[in-house]
Amino acid sequence: MSAVRPTAAAGYDCVVIGGGHNGLVCAAYVAKAGRSVLVLEAAAQVGGAAVTHEFAPGYRVSACAHVLNQMSAQLIEELALELHGLRFAATQMPTVALSGDGAPLTIGAAGLSGPARLSKHDLDAYPRFVERLGKFAGLLGLVLEQVPPELGTSAWSDRFALLGLGWRVRRLGRRDMRELLRIGAMNVYDLLNEQFESPLLKGALGLDAVLGTNFGPRSPGTVLTLLYRMAAQAGAGQRAPAQPLGGMGAVCDALAKAAVAAGVTIRTEAPVSRVLVANDAACGVLLESGERIDARTVISSADPKTTLLRLLGAEHLDTGFVRRVSHLRTSGLAAKLHLALDAAPRFSGLEAAAHGGRLLVAPSLDYIERAFNHSKYGEYSDAPAIEVTVPTARDPSLTPAGGHVISAVVQYAPYMLRAGWEAERERMADRVIATLEQYSPGLRGMIRARELLTPRDIERQFRITGGHWHHAELAFDQFFMLRPVPGAAQYNTPLPGLYLCGAGTHPGGGVMGTAGRTAARRILAKAA
């Protein structure tokens, strides 16, 4: 720990590129350990993609993620985010599977409930399914918290980490271990069809497995993404899924206050143009304004391609490493629709109070898979799968009096749309609204303003290569020891002094903050 903090003129111990949630989390933890830290954010406000933005006069909404279901409860406590102003408009939000026949299914902490009719088989099977998958998710949860071991080293810490992992799998017992190995790499379509009868239930669970990914329910590896979601949600504690009061921006506002309280300096409207290198080590950053900031350690929460290929540059890296980084799959497939409404929307079969939950348009697994099919060929489906929230059902502060907003994650919207997004954006918005209207008759007449953010828009507005939620696809080959790529999976990059801490690193994105927190641990251990 350095006793004397250098002044700004002499540079900082650490400079963090990007003031998104992971950047702020990392900065706060590093500063708490006594380092001088500067956060540089390109936009006018901190938050990155976790912001609340005004998309129509007076109407505000979480710009990307709209449900806080993954942020580690431990992190919220350690950084005292509630002391710094984080409040929740809703907690333990139920999931509602919307149905065309007006009889939705509600999935809550207490289990399944109607009005949808469920078979006895499903009612019996569901708790067993949740318990068993919960056990596996618990195991994965331990993985999410750790610095991934490095393969092929002779370091005992790496060997022990791998051994420990194997030991925990073994300790599941013979039957559960066999089941984990059986379903681990399976697709969620086959798994759910084994377990359940109700298409509505399977559709809802299936959508959770593929939200924010480039997968359909039949894609391999979707049991992993389901377990991942469950694991992260378990780490988020009793509250999750929750809706922050004031939208997702409130989370980053609290994070920023916590960071400042820990001694972090935050500068907004300070886009970085280069990572500076001297003697084969990072030594600071150059801002687009031409200003130079010296630092012994440079930490980037930007996506791996932006950090390594654009800010640092291939010339400082080896060809094989650059090849791996360029091959990283970073194209987003989720769009975001925002609707400003004159009145409260009504979804068929739902009581007014139930509108504060997560409302899913995924009536069956085949429905999702069909929507996915189009995306493989650069098209979007006229019948998309959607996760809808009505944030104003619980948080009227987001709109003028009487107004409401709908916030919807729409799948699938391919980054590379064959017809081009400029020509198709409004037509796709029309199709999504038409789909929603099947579940909420009269919705169209309430719309005052609308906004559709495609992966292209997300890329441009939030400076995320490909516009992917997780910066890089969350799949077996880009997970844990392989995330983002071997050679940078332990948060340090091949360039000494340059670290990654964003969603592209383990354990990935979503408004979780674990990547930033674990990166800080690694940075403090390495750059002591």
Partner 1 sequence: MSDERQLPPHYQQPLLQTPFHDRARALSQLDSFIPWSGYTTVDVFTTVEQEYFAIRNAATLYDLTPMVKYRVAGPDAQRYLNRLVTRDVARLKVDRVCYCVWCDDSGHVIDDGTIFRLGDDEYRLCTAERQIDWLLDSARGFDVEVTEVTEQIAALALQGPTSCAVLKQLGLVGVDRLKPFELGSFEAGGLRVTVSRTGFTGDLGYELWVAPQDATALWDALLTHGRSRGVRPIGSRALNLARIEAGFLAPNVDFVSAERTLRVGSSRSPLELGLGWLVDFEKGHFTGRRALLEERGRGPCRQLVGLDIDGNKPAVNALLYADRSARTEIGSVSSAMWSPTCKRNIALAMVDVPHITPGSSLWAEVYLNRELVWERRMCRAHVVERPFFAPDRRRATPPADV
Closest CB to partner 1 among residues 326, 397: 326
**Most distant CA pair in the chain, distance:** 70
Provide, rounded to whole angstroms, the least separation between the CB of residue 322 and partner 1.
6
Q: Which of 382, 403, 386, 402 is nearest to 339 (CA)?
A: 403
Contact status, residue 53 vs residue 310, Cβ threshold 8 Å: no
Contact status, residue 209 vs residue 216, Cβ threshold 8 Å: no
Provide, rounded to whole angstroms, the least separation between the CB of residue 199 and partner 1.
46
Q: Which of 378, 382, 405 is nearest to 393 (CA)?
A: 405
Interaction of residue 494 with partner 1, rule CB under 8 A: yes
* Contacts to partner 1 from residues 321-380, by CB under 8 A: 321-323, 326
Q: Rounded distance, CA 156 to CA 144, Å?
A: 20
Provide, rounded to whole angstroms, the least separation between the CB of residue 524 and partner 1.
23
Closest CB to partner 1 among residues 325, 339: 325
Provide, rounded to whole angstroms, the least separation between the CB of residue 478 and partner 1.
19
Contact status, residue 29 vs residue 516, Cβ threshold 8 Å: yes
Closest CB to partner 1 among residues 322, 511: 322
Place of tokens 């206050």: 257
Closest CB to partner 1 among residues 239, 310: 310
Closest CB to partner 1 among residues 237, 487: 487
Closest CB to partner 1 among residues 323, 427: 323
Provide, rounded to whole angstroms, the least separation between the CB of residue 111 and partner 1.
52
Closest CB to partner 1 among residues 6, 494: 494
* Contacts to partner 1 from residues 302-331, by CB under 8 A: 309, 313-323, 326
Provide, rounded to whole angstroms, the least separation between the CB of residue 475 and partner 1.
22
Provide, rounded to whole angstroms, the least separation between the CB of residue 246 and partner 1.
41
- Mapping DSSP to helix (H, G, I), strand (E, B) and coil, where does residue 424 land? helix
Q: Which of 38, 519, 52 is nearest to 253 (CA)?
A: 52
* Contacts to partner 1 from residues 64-83, by CB under 8 A: none
Provide, rounded to whole angstroms, the least separation between the CB of residue 387 and partner 1.
36
CA angle 180, 144, 391 (to 5 degrees): 105
81: left (phi over 0), alpha (psi -120 to 50) or beta: alpha
Provide, rounded to whole angstroms, the least separation between the CB of residue 20 and partner 1.
25
Closest CB to partner 1 among residues 64, 489: 489
Closest CB to partner 1 among residues 52, 297: 297
Q: By rule CB under 8 A, what string of x and - marks binding of each residue 443-482 to partner 1?
A: ----------------------------------------
DSSP 8-state assignment for residue 313:
I
Q: Is 47 exposed, middle or buried (0-12, 13-18, 19+ CB in 10 A)?
A: buried
One-letter amino acid for residue 498 of the chain: L
Q: Site for partner 1 (CB under 8 A): how many residues? A: 16
Closest CB to partner 1 among residues 102, 494: 494
Provide, rounded to whole angstroms, the least separation between the CB of residue 289 and partner 1.
23
Closest CB to partner 1 among residues 436, 498: 498
Contact status, residue 45 vs residue 63, Cβ threshold 8 Å: no
Q: By rule CB under 8 A, what string of x and - marks binding of each residue 228-267 to partner 1?
A: ----------------------------------------
Q: Rounded distance, CA 161 to CA 515, Å?
A: 18
- Mapping DSSP to helix (H, G, I), strand (E, B) and coil, where does residue 235 land? helix
Tell me the three-class secondary structure of 28-44, residue by residue. HHHHHCCCCEEEECCCC
Q: Rounded distance, CA 401 to CA 350, Å?
A: 23
DSSP 8-state assignment for residue 390:
-
Contact status, residue 258 vs residue 54, Cβ threshold 8 Å: no
Which value, to the nearest 10 degrees, does the dihedral of the CA atoms of residues 519, 311, 266, 485 take?
Answer: -20
Interaction of residue 487 with partner 1, rule CB under 8 A: yes
* Contacts to partner 1 from residues 82-111, by CB under 8 A: none
Interaction of residue 154 with partner 1, rule CB under 8 A: no
Provide, rounded to whole angstroms, the least separation between the CB of residue 466 and partner 1.
16
Place of tokens 């090849």: 323
Provide, rounded to whole angstroms, the least separation between the CB of residue 323 and partner 1.
5
Give strand pairing partners of 498: 298
Supply φ then ψ for residue 55, to 5 degrees: -100, -10
Interaction of residue 280 with partner 1, rule CB under 8 A: yes
What count of other Cβ atoms lies within 10 Å of the Cβ of residue 54?
12
Interaction of residue 286 with partner 1, rule CB under 8 A: no
Give strand pairing partners of 47: 20
Closest CB to partner 1 among residues 321, 480: 321
Provide, rounded to whole angstroms, the least separation between the CB of residue 282 and partner 1.
13
CA angle 266, 53, 44 (to 5 degrees): 30
Closest CB to partner 1 among residues 312, 474: 312
Residues that bind partner 1 (CB under 8 A): 280, 309, 313-323, 326, 487, 494
